[in-house]
Structure 1
Amino acid sequence: MSNIGLIIEEKAADIGNFLVGRLLPFREKRAVGPFVFIDHMGPSELKDYQNLDVPPHPHIGLSTLTYLLEGSIFHRDSIGSAIEIQPGAVNWMTAGKGVVHSERTPEHLRHSDKRLHGFQIWVGLPKHLEQSEPTFHHIEANEIPIWEEDGVQYKLIAGEAFGKKSPVPVHSQLFFIEIKTKEAKKISIGKDLYGEAAMYVLDGTVSTEGNSYGSKQLMIAKDTKLCEFDMSENGTVYLFGGEPLEEERFIFWNFVNSDKELIEQAKVNWNDQNHHAFPLVPGDEKEYVPLPKAILNRKI
């Protein structure tokens, strides 16, 4: 009996200069543990005249996790944060009742050729934190736990697993793990995981129960405790999951919540540019991403 419950191939989503591999949500699987949205961003080659420019846009009811493999993004938000995120570091922003942020190519790279590659992730908040005050944390790459066992490198980007804990201040039981191999290895880690689990193959191949899976595939485990697989040489996979949230989470545009009415109110507040609900972003006040007119009157 195969432990692979569902195989999801990346679907391309065009967001301007970038082709993003959309991993979650899908009709077949709306969330894995508390993870409700995952974008694989790039890898993209940008010329000296091409830059990432995502103007200020809003969120409620979630935490965002940005993790880069290559390149750099400058983050600004309505809390007052202004910081450049580089490969291996983690930006963790908790929207709570409402936050606004922008993501742009840093000024010192805007006239140079560059690459951009990474993950943008949304994690649903426990119900009692959905209306909390927004917060922001930046964790440097050298603060993230990295260790090696039997020639396999592990990195605990966020959450708890393997008896270790990442300094990223998550709000529920979850894990986001990077596993790298130089030589072909058998990985057996089911005893170290919990809740639901999914695996994304970035480089190399993964084999389990006579089947091989390559890159651009998201695999959902039927039973997290049976998480065992073979990785090829020079392989990289990401495991994410944890304990599911008790209530269903609704996603509408950039808003996530267990209460549809709070999402409806957020739509109105952003469309009306209510700066009490969604403050301006210091240093990036001149433009914003408008609420698409097509969804203003569309109910969830």
Structure 2
Amino acid sequence: MSNINLIIEERAADIGKFLVGRLLPFRQKRMVGPFIYIDHMGPVKLNERNNFDVLPHPHIGLSTLTFLFEGSIMHRDSIGNALEIKPGEVNWMTAGKGIVHSERTPEYLRDSEKHLHGLQIWVALPQHLEEMNPEFFHISKHEIPEWEEDGVAYKLIAGEAFNRKSKVPVYSKLYMIELKSTKTQKLSIGQYLYGESGLYILEGAVESDGNVYGSKQMLVTKDSHLCEFTIHENSTVYIFGGEPFSEERIIDWNFVATDKALIEKAKINWDAQLFDKVKDDQEEFIPYPNFRKK
């Protein structure tokens, strides 16, 4: 990938009894296009005594995208959805003015050995949609555009690129693309992209200008139209990008907004437990960290 502007290494982050590799936000790069959080979960092996349990917690001002490589997660939310996500599928949840959800190991797997591996992503909403009504969509793996070209398998997980469009109902100009190559070859795909681009290497390697980059790194370009690189054999990479917003986003815990007042209101309402509850998962919740009433 020519014209590399920044290299981001995964950093360990705790999301509640579970460690992930965090890529965004980064101190030198808060967002890539509208993508504001990118976490790499696992790969991890869980025994019968350990389960993936992210307790009910709130969001505002963003959409979440869950994409699994391995394992299964049970999603429940405060607008009544309860659905299991499996590898290759997409859960797309738009918080808008406010939603609460939990993510847990499904009941039928809780007393057995299991694996979990995937990506958890936040996409900021356009300013005029920050307080829209919350929504949830599940997209099956058969609905996601896939094609092969010169030995590279492509998958358009979300957004628009390569003159194709995913069924994930996004609210801004963006793309999330999977590339898998069985051989080493040079790719020049900048003409199919736009805005900012970040290339995350899940496995294998990518080479640019004589430098080789390995797994758990994200390469951010200065210009998506200069997206050229050599992908090594048996490599899997993900490209995140799109048109950046003109307004700055404030991130406070699970809340994202252009207006600090929206975040302060959400913090107060969550502390007072005024958000709607998650059906069939109301006994526990994650408190706002270090919240103090004024």
TM-score between both structures, scaled by the size of structure 1? 0.96
Q: 1:252-294, CA deviations, whole angstroms, 9 ceiling, x for partnerless residues?
A: 00000001000001000000111xxx100111111111112x2
Match of 2:38 in 1: 38
- 8 Å contact from structure 1 (residues 155, 177) kept in 2: yes
Match of 1:285 in 2: 282
Distance 1:93 1:185 in 2: 36
Counterpart amino acid of residue 291 in structure 1:
Y
Distance 1:145 1:127 in 2: 29
- 8 Å contact from structure 1 (residues 267, 296) kept in 2: no
Q: 1:166-198, CA deviations, whole angstroms, 9 ceiling, x for partnerless residues?
A: 000000000000000011121110000000000
Match of 1:258 in 2: 258
Counterpart amino acid of residue 65 in structure 1:
L
Distance 2:221 2:9 in 1: 15
Q: 1:40-80, CA deviations, whole angstroms, 9 ceiling, x for partnerless residues?
A: 01101101111011111000000000000000000000010
Counterpart amino acid of residue 18 in structure 1:
F
Matched residue SS, 2:131: coil
Superposition map of 1:13-162 within 5 A: 13-162=13-162
CA apart distance, 1:297: 5.8
Distance 1:206 1:96 in 2: 37
Matched residue SS, 2:280: coil
CA apart distance, 1:16: 4.8
Q: CA RMSD in A?
A: 1.3
- 5+ unaligned residues in a row in structure 1: which ranges? none
Distance 2:291 2:198 in 1: 31
Distance 1:297 1:242 in 2: 38
Distance 2:101 2:81 in 1: 9
- 5+ unaligned residues in a row in structure 2: which ranges? none
Count of residue pairs the alignment pairs up: 294
Matched residue SS, 1:270: helix
Q: Does 1:239 align with 2:239?
A: yes
CA apart distance, 1:246: 2.0
Distance 1:2 1:203 in 2: 20
- 8 Å contact from structure 2 (residues 55, 103) kept in 1: yes
Match of 1:228 in 2: 228
Q: 1:215-260, CA deviations, whole angstroms, 9 ceiling, x for partnerless residues?
A: 1111100111110001111000000010011211110000000010
Superposition map of 1:161-240 within 5 A: 161-240=161-240
Distance 2:61 2:169 in 1: 16
Between the aligned residues of both structures, percent identity stands at 65
CA apart distance, 1:17: 4.6
CA apart distance, 1:296: 3.8
CA apart distance, 1:18: 3.0
Distance 2:293 2:213 in 1: 42
Distance 1:118 1:297 in 2: 36
Counterpart amino acid of residue 72 in structure 1:
S
Matched residue SS, 1:285: coil
Counterpart amino acid of residue 288 in structure 1:
F
Matched residue SS, 1:74: strand
Matched residue SS, 2:215: coil
Distance 2:231 2:32 in 1: 22
- 8 Å contact from structure 2 (residues 271, 288) kept in 1: yes
CA apart distance, 1:10: 0.7
Counterpart amino acid of residue 284 in structure 1:
D
Distance 1:131 1:14 in 2: 28
Matched residue SS, 1:43: strand
- 8 Å contact from structure 1 (residues 18, 42) kept in 2: no
- 8 Å contact from structure 1 (residues 173, 242) kept in 2: yes
Distance 1:94 1:87 in 2: 21
TM-score between both structures, scaled by the size of structure 2? 0.98
